[in-house]
Structure 1
């Protein structure tokens, strides 16, 4: 998602930019979007070592290996594919034999909280996908750890209390393009579309580009890219409690909204206070300094058509974030791969350092869901209107009893109601007999 690392530099060509003609060309090409960011390749400071990083083929192999070793807790779905037919890999993790939680004195059941995590939306951002593989390794590794250890406790908590969905590679065609061409500045799909500007939430606003050569090219219409379907169909099939879109380029945690309309109207999602609370906890989870907040307040630019805005505004998912896991932002001498991904030698150490963000996210959503369920089931256990209604009803009964008890002791003119004579059936019978004889 991170874009202002490229916004201050118009990378239309390599070499000397002193030519007046070239400067004018850049001006007119970028006239529609002043922040026009190019996706042409650069001479990189360092490149990925695929004995440390995973290429596209290795990602698929690694996912299949992890799932095949843990069939009780994991499922893999390869049905959703990119424009060029590459799998986007949906991984589902949970204890499938125990998919419900039970709360309340009446033991009513409710589905576990569902969380959807999205990785690989931007082709040049390798680090988020590596963090996903590292996360899966930690979750499944705890299954064989010593009982009572932190690793075992983490795995047991995730698998028993969550229903976790992961889209491992949203944009496999873009990743393939990066690997084949060596262009580590490439951000979009095979057609150059930025998936994070292609969703139907204020699509086409000024926080995106209609220029197909721009890194924020939004496409010809909302959902023009088949890669969007995996996220729209999952969220129409399941009711998720949380959604997170993972990126890299800086250390920031965004709460909706990021679009230009919401910025103008000062619009915030309904659950923004809780989302900001969770964002703050995640920001403090590591030794790094993460900034967090409403996206249009945190950044000095708008982003229209983003995935996490769509999830909050259209799908109404209670918690929706875009998290930039790693990076120092734009800096002198930065190219592309180094802007979004750590050095090979630092990868494992950095992956370990960012994992607490996932742990805080899972813990918070589990506890939040439990509180929601307690409130729901408590309201079902109480009479209509709760305890207040019960106390009022009891008071009315007591007052009525007292009135009835003292009423007959009062003089007739002071009574609340006058006693009426009750005629028995026997007296009526005698009366009728007398009338008949007469």
Structure 2
């Protein structure tokens, strides 16, 4: 019966038309992972078939979500059937799913008289303007820094937030970034909301986070890809660089482009694949800026948070199953963060799962999380936000909820990491 449903999907999707035509024959399939062997099977299929995995599942706890194309659908289904793995249809017609997202967002915006930038999915120019206004209005607290141009020439900027203009070396730095994967729209509002809570709307309970911690917040790592998701292809994930060896294949998976076991596992050698790591580490200017920020403030960055969507995970290194020397402390801070978020979670959201990225999910290489840990940042994480049942198309009505609950986790992680920073500074 499951196979029949999937075959019907392939027929039904042929009739789709509209702005998202490139997804008209695509579907999303949920896969019930039973154990580590199923996880290994899916990892192998991802590499062999160049699958687009939307959610990394965890055996017995969370199903995997995979977008299939006509070229991959039947091969995937055959492999799952041959191994007795259950699957089901989540989205029959991806094009229709995206059109519904677009229509809903338009209706939601038309019904709201006003909204804050972090309550919506703003374009890159709006994000730049917001950061500039923060720096102009609060010059003694916020400094706008130009990292450099993206591949297509957009200026990548970040805010430094400090009551002492980054001169007090007794204060740890919390470095967070978002939108390294272009289709993960819900990540940037969390970064923007963090700016808002630290600068414009500091509350009494959070006064210590501003006085005792310095912050670096980069809301959009990948502006070229992000803009492309608005204008051309909603589910674009990579950067927009032109491959010098194959000009028909655009972009690199920026979260596989770091110099941490580069191009070893969890990547594809196909330049057109979504997990293609690039020719060399830091081939992308966007990832180079993260490297440079880490290098400039390495002796003070205590925590690095690379924000993604979706799945409800707090993950840490390393992607090859090895652990950092302070793994117990890293797990402690990550677990406290996840637990704090869970105190506010919606009933339909899963509880945050915390652990080593390779052990919880599967092996990867070249990630920002691993690079941060490798170069000496004590606490380096991948944070996967909730998607609920909407996958990458989280309705804007949920953004406030995600912002609020994630900020609670960020606050807890900042305070705990600061305690460890005191011990680090005294050694």
- Give me the TM-score of the superposition, normalised by structure 1: 0.68
Give the number of equivalent residue pairs.
321
Deviations 1:44-101 (A, max 9, x none): 141345663211111111111222111101100124221111122121011126842x
Q: How far apart are the structure 1 equivalents of 2:141 and 2:205?
A: 15
Answer with 1 or 2: which has the greater Rg: 1
Post-superposition Cα deviations, 1:336-374, rounded to whole Å, max 9, x if no partner, equal xx312421222223322222011111111222222444x
Q: Distance in 2 between matches of 1:352 and 1:360?
A: 13
1:322 and 2:382 aligned: yes
Correspondence 1:153-168 to 2 at 5 A: 153-154=205-206, 156-168=207-219
Residue 212 of structure 1 aligns with which residue?
A: 271
- Matches of 2:288 and 2:68 in 1, distance apart? 25
1: CA distance between counterparts of 2:179 and 2:165? 30
- The equivalent position to 1:66 in structure 2, one of 124, 134, 137, is 134
Question: Which stretch shifts more, 34-43 or 161-170?
Answer: 34-43
Which residue of structure 1 aligns with residue 48 of structure 2? 33
Alignment partner, residue 223 of structure 2 = 172
Paired residue secondary structure (2:216) = strand
User: Contact 1:326–1:341 (CA<8 Å) still a contact in 2?
Assistant: no
Structure 2 residue aligned with 1:135 = 194
Report SS of the residue matched to 2:156.
coil
Unaligned ranges ≥5, structure 2: 1-8, 14-21, 28-44, 53-66, 70-93, 110-114, 241-249, 346-350
Task: Find the aligned partners of 1:16 and 1:223 in 2 and give their Cα distance.
Answer: 32
Q: Which runs of no fewer than 5 residues in structure 1 stay unpaired?
A: 1-8, 18-29, 101-109, 144-150, 332-337, 377-438
Structure ranking higher on relative contact order (CA contacts 8 Å, 6+ apart): 1
Deviation string, structure 1 residues 120-168 (Cα, Å, up to 9, x no partner): 101011111001111111111345xxxxxxx0341x3122211211122
Residue 280 of structure 1: CA displacement?
0.8
Task: Classify 1:184/1:368 alpha carbon distance in 2 versus 1 (closer, same or farther; 3 Å).
Answer: same
Alpha-carbon distance in 1 for matches of 2:370, 2:46: 26
Cα deviations across residues 15-46 of structure 1 (Å, max 9, x unaligned)? Answer: 389xxxxxxxxxxxx89534522799733141
Which TM-score applies when normalising by structure 2? Answer: 0.69
Match of 2:334 in 1: 279
| Residue number in structure 1 paired with 2:77 | none
- For 1:157 and 1:171, locate their aligned partners in 2 and report how far apart those are by CA, in whole Å: 31
- Cα separation, 2, equivalents of 1:349 and 1:275: 26
Pairing of 1:1-400 with structure 2 (within 5 A)? 14-15=24-25, 33-37=48-52, 42-43=95-96, 44=98, 45-47=100-102, 48-49=105-106, 52-96=120-164, 99-100=167-168, 110-142=169-201, 151-154=203-206, 156-181=207-232, 183-190=233-240, 191-239=250-298, 240-258=301-319, 262-263=320-321, 267-286=322-341, 287-288=344-345, 289-299=351-361, 301-313=362-374, 315-328=375-388, 338-373=390-425, 375-376=426-427
1:395 maps to none
Counterpart Cα distance in 2 of 1:188 and 1:254: 21
Structure 1 CA distance for aligned equivalents of residues 286 and 308 of structure 2:
17
Question: Between Structure 1 and Structure 2, which shows a larger proportion of strand residues?
Answer: 2
Matched residues in 1 for 2:395 and 2:24: separation?
24
- Any conservation in 1 of the 2:385–2:402 contact (CA below 8 Å)? no
1:415 corresponding residue in structure 2: none
Please tell me the root mean square deviation across aligned C-alpha atoms, in Å. Answer: 2.6
